[in-house]
A and B are shown apart, each in its own frame.
Chain A
Amino acid sequence: MCEHSPLAGKTGCPETAQTVFDSAHRQPPAIEELVQLWRYRDLVAQLVIRNIKARYKRSVLGVVWTMLNPLLMMAVLSLVLHGLFGLRVPNYSAYLLAGLLLWQFFAQATLASTSEIVWGASLVKRIYVPRTAFAVAAVGNGLVNLALSLVPLALIMAVLGIPVGRAALTIPVSVLLTAMFTLGVALFVSSVAVYFADFMEIYQVALTAWMYLTPVIYPIDIVPERYRWLFKLNPMCHLVDIFRAPIHMNALPAMESLCAAAGASVLVLLLGWLFFTRNSDEIAYRA
């Protein structure tokens, strides 16, 4: 869009009085969307701020609850699985909490992206907004919540006396990869959810099943050896694994898992982006 503008080089890519939009000379949708998303980056920030503020205002406990929720779940699951069923994992609380936090980030962000796009669709029919902004904002919001919930995680680790070493420096990498994977999935589900009101329920059921098929609350060792390869086809299995290694064992992530996680995240994000941007022009056409 900017190639027509003599000012484009000087000022980034603002629309000036001379910028010409030409429907016959558009960039491929995936590229155009990327350019527009960058121009609308403040919108993504505003959407994240809106969600955090709205949540905080509705109940002062909003932020506290974000931190407390996984802790409560951890307490209950520890009691049941560890105490009653005798699941033997060293430092099970930390193992469980790390897995739950990452899973909740993934699950909540993808679910939130469906409600964001449904909300956004009413606007997208009237004004131009890059449509990926809604999914990106949902993932950004999830990242803020994840960061908040690292506080209780650190507390638990301190109480349990789990040492924190240099391996912890890999946590941002694992989070980044998970965020990429999450965004890819969010783009897929929100491009369907925008048309069908019942899709969210279907997806919610699928998410629950997906969680039980991922070693979040149990160790992969309890899966019989001959089925294990099946579990490893699931990218979340590797993402949880690399996120958890430094927290639970103060160990570096396994190279195999790291490669699988990185490959899957890049691939899913790329496919999700292409799929979404190819179809997103349609949103404005639907009543």
Chain B
Amino acid sequence: MKSPTAPDNRNTTETETLSPDTAIRIDRVTVRYRLPHERIHTFKEYVIRMLRGQLRMIDHLALRDVSMEVRRGEVLGIVGRNGAGKSTLLKLAARVLQPTEGRIRIRGRVAPLLDVGGGFHPELTGHENIFLNGALLGLSRAEITRRLDSIVEFAELRDCIESPLRTYSSGMIARLGFAIATDVEPDILLIDEILAVGDEKFRAKCAGRIRRFRDAGTTIVLVSHDMHMVRELCGRAVWLNKGRVEGEGTADEIVTLYSRA
């Protein structure tokens, strides 16, 4: 049994080639958000302040010197308080953010399972929105055409798929989003507290789908505040605290430690 420890120096020597068993490897990554000291809303104000040399920035380190590894086929849980840097970590893995310092390597196709409802257009039909959303997730037209049926099937929206999206309820929209995002057969699935969508029956179906992904050998990184779910779904877990890795170990150990803290 590996006892949970603070990150040691084991990770500081970067292995040059990524072992085939590694899905994600993060080496000494720091992410810095740089924000203007006061929020500057307008371009005019920005230019005036820049000319006067009044542009003060504050740095915020969302992740500090984080090293970790996600092995292929494992389900890794990430726990931590609000603002601990969990979502930031997933954004790194999704290539949305680039690390300010350090190095990240990712093997295979990554699918972030999050609410991409922002990509929907209310005037278009569900059908048309599937094509738009699939394209945003990097699918080609041919791939979406091939998956169309199973997406509509899973979302249980066959009857209204030709109606404009503005006639859908928010739960129906969330279902459509989930159905599109999980129909991609990724190598790595990133889940950031999304499982609270839809009604109870649909949530159970989502959990079932995630279990199927796990059983099919998909690598999963799961961020959740639901300790019950972390225990149930994850093998290993990492505890983030204020941007640092506070502990790492089996899901049971970490959940116990974290719940006590």
Contact = CB atoms under 8 A, between A and B. Distances in A.
Contact of B108 (A15, A124, A197): A15
A182 B112 CA distance: 33
A239 B96 CA distance: 37
B118 A122 contact: yes
B15 interface: no
Interface stretch (B37-45, B196-204, B231-239, B253-261): B37-45
A127 B43 contact: no
A57 B162 CA distance: 13
A40 interface: yes
A40 B138 contact: yes
Contacts of A45: 135, 141
A202 interface: yes
Contacts of A54: 121, 123-124
Interface in B85-123: 91, 94-99, 102-110, 112, 114, 116, 118-119, 121, 123
A196 B39 CA distance: 11
B41 A196 contact: yes
A22 B16 CA distance: 11
Interface residues of A, number: 42
A15 B44 CA distance: 43
A16 B164 CA distance: 35
Contacts of A287: 33, 35
Q: Which 4 A-B pairs have the closest CB atoms?
A: A196-B43, A46-B135, A43-B135, A15-B109
B148 interface: no
Contacts of B33: 285, 287
Given A54-B124, A284-B91, A128 B132 contact: no
B154 interface: no
Given A43-B135, A57-B123, A195-B46, 20 more contacts: A16-B108, A17-B187, A18-B107, A20-B18, A21-B95, A21-B105, A22-B104, A42-B135, A43-B136, A46-B135, A47-B132, A50-B132, A53-B123, A124-B96, A127-B94, A127-B112, A127-B136, A128-B96, A196-B41, A199-B43
A89 B7 CA distance: 78
A119 to B, nearest CB: 8
A197 B41 contact: yes
Given A50-B128, A54-B124, A198-B43, A123 B108 contact: no
A19 B43 contact: no
Interface string B5-46: 000000000000010000000000000011100000111101
A127 B105 contact: no
B137 interface: yes
Q: Chain B, interface size: which category? A: 35 or more
A16 B108 CA distance: 5
A19 B107 contact: yes
B54 interface: no
A50 B137 CA distance: 16
Contacts of B91: 125-126, 284
A19 B109 contact: yes
B136 A129 contact: yes
B96 A126 contact: yes
Contacts of A198: 41-44
B131 interface: yes
B141 A42 contact: yes
Given A43-B136, A57-B123, A58-B123, A126 B116 contact: yes
B123 A23 contact: no
Nearest to B62: A285
B132 A46 contact: yes
Interface in A142-181: none
Contact of B138 (A39, A58, A122, A196): A39
A287 B36 CA distance: 11
16 contacts: A15-B109, A17-B109, A18-B107, A19-B109, A23-B98, A24-B105, A46-B135, A46-B136, A47-B132, A49-B132, A54-B124, A126-B118, A199-B43, A202-B44, A284-B96, A287-B35
B163 interface: no
A17 B216 CA distance: 14
B150 interface: no
Contacts of B98: 23, 281
Nearest to B23: A17
A127 B114 contact: yes
B105 A23 contact: yes
A42 B112 CA distance: 19
Contacts of A266: none
B44 A18 contact: no
A249 interface: no
Contacts of B135: 40, 42-43, 45-47
